[in-house]
Every structure is written in C-alpha cells, then in structure tokens.
Amino acid sequence: MRPAGVRARIQQLQEGEQQHARAHPEQALQRALTWFIHGCALLAYADEGASGVVESYRSVLVFLDNPIQRRSTSVWEQTGLECLAQLREPLAEVAADPQRRAARDEEIAASALLRIPPTVLVGRATPDAYFPMACLNAAGSLREEAITPYQAVTLICGVGFYEPAQERDLLTTIRTLRTRYEERPSDRTSLDNEIRRKLQSWESAYRNHDSH
C-alpha cells in the first residue's frame, strides 16, 4: 500500500519536469533526442507504434539547426546524432509526410528504427539490446541535465515494465529509488545525487564490460 498523497506528489513531480523543460529551452534538442531514443526502445516492446517514433524523429529534426540549442561532445549526444544521420535516408520518405499512416510507417520505418539506434548506441540490434539502450539514454540525458533525475528513473522503469532479463539488478535499484522519490519529498536532494551516482557507475561498468 502506497502512503497517502502519493498520486498528488507524482503529479507535482510531472509538473516539475515541465517547469524544468520551460526553464531550459536551449536543451529542447537534447530532450527531443531523449524521447526519440526512448521511443525506439518502446517500439521494440510493441508499446509504441512506428508512427509515434517517426513523429518523435521529426521533432528532433526541427531543433537540429536551431542556433540557440546547446550542443555537447558527450558520447550520448554524439551517438544519438549519429543515429539521426544513419536514419536520414531510410526515413526520408515518411519523415517528409506530416500525415502519419500507421501501416505505411510500419512498413517503411520500423525495421530501420529497430536496427540502427541499438546498433549505434549499444553495438548490436539483438532483443537484449533495447533495455540497456534505454538505460544509456536516460543516463546520458541526465548527465547533460536535459532531464531530471526523477525523469531518468521513470524512463527506465517504463521500459522495465516488460521485465527484461538483463540488467535486473539495475532495474530493481531504480524502481526502489523511484518509490523513495515519490514517497519521501524531504529526501529528494540526496536522492537526486544517489540517482546520478547509480546511473553513472552502471554506465561506466557497462561500457567497460562491453569494450572487452
């Protein structure tokens, strides 16, 4: 049983995420990139359709040439932009059409969306690549402060809903951190730091292991 007031606190946290986004318009590109990569992970679990991910892709393109957008040299941003570069040709037809048609998007775009992002970000496009891709995405975006710590754990838990066998220890920890964040408002400053440390240490270990 969750303690009283949790629903209202979650709503306040979601409003806080929107306030964070409004306060940092220069990171709209990074946020759009975050949601696009996350959408690719959800597509792999059939929780998002190809049309939704194509729209997310189009939203990233809107900000690419915006001069106010903050750019970084982080691995996360550079690999995300490489995904966009490799997707330009296979998605050109559907991205040019603002009127989404699910069957057409699925036929033209789905295979590229399921293959290219995990290959670029994780190094493979196998079924076990999508959850770590989502985790690397959340960790990288949080490091850039494009999203809040609570958003980062929420993104991971959203994909973790499908109980991926890999990275189970990370998922268990992240779920616990999200619950604590929702139930203990007075602890949120320390939880912010704990979330950052956990994702940074996991990412470092993951990349080191993957490089061997």
Render pLDDT for 163-195 as a digit per residue (tens, 0 to 9): 676 788 899 999 999 999 999 999 999 999 999
Render pLDDT for 67-83 as a digit per residue (tens, 0 to 9): 999 999 999 999 999 99
Question: What is the structure's pLDDT at 6?
Answer: 80
Which of 8-12, 33-37, 63-67 is modeled with the greatest confidence? 33-37
Mean pLDDT of 98-113: 92
Mean pLDDT of 12-22: 89
Question: What is the structure's pLDDT at 3?
Answer: 65
SS3 content of the chain, % helix, strand, coil (to 5): 80, 0, 20
Residue with tokens 């989404």: 100
Query: Do the beta carbons of residue 33 and residue 60 sit within 8 Å?
Result: yes
Kindly report the average pLDDT of the chain as a whole number.
92
Query: Do the beta carbons of residue 82 and residue 149 sit within 8 Å?
Result: no
Residue 212: pLDDT over 60: no
Question: What is the structure's pLDDT at 2?
Answer: 61
Question: What is the structure's pLDDT at 12?
Answer: 87
Q: What is the DSSP annotation of 76-134?
A: HHHHHHHHHHHHHHHHHHHHT-SS--HHHHHHHHHHHHHHHHHHHHTS--SGGGHHHHH
Question: What is the structure's pLDDT at 165?
Answer: 66
d(CA 162, CA 58): 27
Query: Do the beta carbons of residue 135 and residue 167 sit within 8 Å?
Result: yes
